Structure 1
Amino acid sequence: MIMARKTDPYMSYRFRVEIEGIISVGASDVTGLQLETETESYEEGGINYYVHILPKRTKYQHIILKRGITDMDDMWGWYMDVVDGIFERRNGAIILIDVSHPDIDLLRWEFDEAYPVKWIGPEFRADSNTVAFETIELAHNGIWKF
């Protein structure tokens, strides 16, 4: 008898972000791990009961990192370099960490040749005691899961 292996879903709150040249990005949120393949419809002559759907190119969503602002200005500096015309692409990874064993990487999503295309500063409110967050958006040339 074949026994199915039971696996519980991984928890999404234990992760780290590494970017080449920046030791580690202490992000509180990461979004944009999304790929989408465009398609093209092709109607073949004589076949009237369906339309062929053919794949075209794959688009990669921008990766969005949100983190609390600290004295470390590495991400701001990288973005300002782009603003100043210094265009430096960097590789990086989003790494899912084992909840019970923080030194064990469960999964990695590596991205190639990223560079910042958008920076959003914190919202300041006198009636709130929340953390000041910055958001940076990265364009890249692909994501691979390991």
Structure 2
Amino acid sequence: MPSDTEILGGQPPVAANFLLEVDGVAIGTFQKVSGLEVTVATHEYAEGGVSGFVHRLPGQMSWPSLVFSRGLTTSDNLFAWMNRSAGDGFQSAGGKLERKTASVTLIDVTGNRLRSFAVRDAFPVRWTGPALATQDSSVLYEELEVAHHGFTSATFV
């Protein structure tokens, strides 16, 4: 069986950007994504008469929120999605949260899609805008936090 580097032409994959889409609508590309992890809780069971080990059984799976970071964008898709999850948009939907299917796609330096994560029941829970100061000439940066119920993965290679 060939190794991953053999499949990819001898070079390990490098992601240049991460695309976030919600129900097929592009929210934007991000420079950093954290929280792509899953934890399986374990329960210990000490069986009578077995003193060499304690059984460890799988329990619930949990996923932390995803946190997306990037330079400021000109698209309003992020705020349109956020407004449907809280405030007036949430009230106009009768106080019912619309969880969406999101996808996080890793894109290489040539624009090819490397891997995508389908994120179930996603909704935005926090947005942080750039710190503003006239004396500061640093890049404007925003951050988005998304809660969800897990994800699956697919490769494009």
User: TM-score, normalised on structure 1?
Assistant: 0.83
Q: Are 2:109 and 1:106 aligned?
A: no
C-alpha deviation, 1:6, in angstroms: 6.3
DSSP 3-state at the match of 1:13: strand
Give aligned pairs, total. Answer: 142
Contact 2:65 2:147 in 1 (8 A): yes
Distance 2:19 2:51 in 1: 51
Q: What is aligned with 2:148?
A: 140
Structure 1 residue matching 2:15: 3-state secondary structure: coil
What is the rounded CA distance, in whole Å, between the counterparts of 2:116 and 2:77 in structure 1? 22
RMSD: 2.1
Output the TM-score relative to the length of structure 2.
Answer: 0.78
Q: Which runs of 5+ in 2 are unaligned?
A: 6-10
Change (3 A) 1:14 1:119: closer
Is the counterpart of residue 13 in structure 1 residue 16 in structure 2?
yes
The residue identity in structure 1 corresponding to 2:46 is E
| CA displacement 1:38-96 (0-9 Å, x = unmatched) | 11111110111111111001001111112222332221232233222342222121212
Does 1:39 pair with 2:42? yes
Which portions of structure 1, spanning 4 or more consecutive aligned residues, are displaced by more than 3 angstroms?
3-6
Instruction: Calculate percent identity across the aligned residue pairs.
Output: 30
Deviations 1:21-41 (A, max 9, x none): 532412121111010011111
Which residue in the other structure is 1:26 paired with? 29
* Cα 1:98/1:145, change in 2 over 3 Å: same
8 Å Cα contact 2:22/2:102 also seen in 1: yes
**Which protein has the bigger helix share?**
2
In the other structure, the counterpart of 1:118 is: 126
Contact 2:15/2:109 (CA < 8 Å) preserved in 1?
Answer: no
Q: 1:51 aligns with which of 38, 50, 54?
A: 54
Match of 1:93 in 2: 103
Q: Distance in 2 between matches of 1:65 and 1:81?
A: 19
**In 2, are the aligned partners of 1:19 and 1:25 still within 8 Å (CA)?**
no
- Whichever residue aligns with residue 111 of structure 1, its letter is V
Return 5+ residue gaps in structure 1 as ranges.
none
- Matched letter for residue 72 of structure 2: I
Q: Which moved more, 1:14-23 or 1:117-126?
A: 14-23
